[in-house]
Each structure stands twice: as C-alpha cells, then as structure tokens.
Amino acid sequence: MLDALFGTDGITDAVAALRLALSMLAGGIVGLERARRRQSAGLRTHILICLGATSLMLLSIWLPEKYAGLRTGDPGRIAAQVVSGIGFLGAGSIIRLGNTIKGLTTAASLWFIAAVGLLIGAGMYVTASLALGFSLVALVALEPLERKLFPAERLKHLVIAYSGNADFPENARRVIEEFGLQIQSVDEEKKPKKSESVVRFLVGIPVDTDTADLYRRVKDIGGVARVDIKEKF
C-alpha cells in the first residue's frame, strides 16, 4: 500500500490526493512564516501556489501516461512554465520605497514554494522535505544572525540648519560618513531672510543608531542652529 502511494510508477487518485495534501502542508508551513511577519503574500497565497504547482506537475506526468506513453511524452513541458509564470506573482509582492526595496524575500518564497510543489508533484518527497527544512533555516533561524551582522536601516532626512560657514555641507558630510552612515543624496536650500541655510542629507540610518551622539558630532562643527531627523516620504 505504501509503495503504491509513495512510488513513482504512475498517477492514481490516491497518489494525487496524497501529493496534494503534502503540498498543502508545505505551502502552509512557509505561508505561516510569511503571514506572521505581516507580508503581502501569506498563508493562503503560498498554499494556493504550492497546490497549483503540484497540480501542474501531476498533469504533466499523467498526460503522457494516459495518451502518449512515457517514451514519447514530455512530463516536464507543462511544469516548466511554472518557473517563468510564478515571476508575475513574485513581482507583485515587491515594493520600492525611494532607494529601499521591500518584499524580495516574500517574492523568493513564492518562487521557492512553487519549486517545492513541483518536487512533491513529481514524487520527490525526500528532496522536497530537505528543501522545506533548509528554507525554514533561512527564514527563521538565520534572521537573528542577519540582524546582528547587518542591522536594518531606513532612509531618512538628516536636516541641518546652519549659518556662516560656507564649507559646512562638506564638513557635515565628512562627520556623517565617519559616523558610519551612508549618504544617498544631498540637497541645500538658502534662506536669506533668516540668514541661514538648510542642508538635507538623505541617509540610511540603522535602527540602533545613537542619534544623540550623531547630533552632538554635527553640532561640534559649529554654526549649527538646529538638527533633526525626519522620515523620508
């Protein structure tokens, strides 16, 4: 009985039902992880993609068996289209905010779960299990390490009002870079009525940045009227 269900000799109703059930489970595991992080593609999306990929793989195997014979049929022809077709769904989960791109991991998880669905549909249960396990390591176990080695950062405007020193923007740039921050762009505005100028640095600021220390270093340049960090819209 088990050989009939887990074997790869042919597609019966029982074999198809088992593979679809395993596909739903695999999609649900990855989907729960994405849903827990409030991503645009969550539980149901991953389940449906995995089920769809498995269904197409089953169809790819079944059609040559039923109508042409395995020697002349191509079981991979329909399934191959999943690889390119899933790209359209993945692109929908990617959002660009200024110079920051969000949703790449979710897009990759959609592409990955489609591959797992194809593996399950082909009866490669061990490979699918290993791939699923490794994906959970990448999505869950490696996250704390990634945050420690590469702290998350957000693009913000460091706004500095100053007076007098014409070399101030260059001096401020040097201080910001020495502080370890990456400057994306610089915009300066002169305000003759207030006898001051305002320079805005678009800066990638890690979430754990000591902004008080940054303010102090900028003010040490001299001639600073005020300094503030504002969200980039």
In this structure, are 161 and 120 located in the same domain? Answer: no
Mean pLDDT for all residues in the chain: 82
Q: By C-alpha distance, which of 69, 75, 67 is closest to 123? A: 75
Class of residue 208 by CB neighbours under 10 A (exposed 0-12, middle 13-18, buried 19+): exposed
Decide the pairing of beta strands 100-102 and 95-97. antiparallel
In this structure, are 99 and 70 located in the same domain? Answer: yes
Look up the domain containing 208 and give its range.
153-231
Tracing tokens 């991979």 back to the chain, one arrives at 76
In this structure, are 72 and 184 located in the same domain? Answer: no
Is the pLDDT at 51 greater than 80? The verdict is yes
pLDDT tens, residue by residue, 162-210: 887 778 888 888 888 888 888 888 888 877 666 788 888 888 777 777 7
In this structure, are 145 and 164 located in the same domain? Answer: no
In this structure, are 108 and 53 located in the same domain? Answer: yes
Q: By C-alpha distance, which of 89, 95, 102, 11 is closest to 52? A: 89
Q: By C-alpha distance, which of 65, 57, 67 is closest to 10? A: 65
pTM: 0.64
- Residue bearing the bigger pLDDT, 136 or 151: 136
Expressed in percent and rounded to 5, the helix, strand and coil fractions of the chain are 60, 20, 20
Return the percentage of the chain with pLDDT > 70, whole number: 84
Is the pLDDT at 130 greater than 90? The verdict is yes
* C-alpha to C-alpha distances, 141 to 104, 107, 132, 137, nearest whole angstrom: 18, 19, 13, 5
- Let me know: does 202 contact 185? Beta carbons within 8 Å: yes
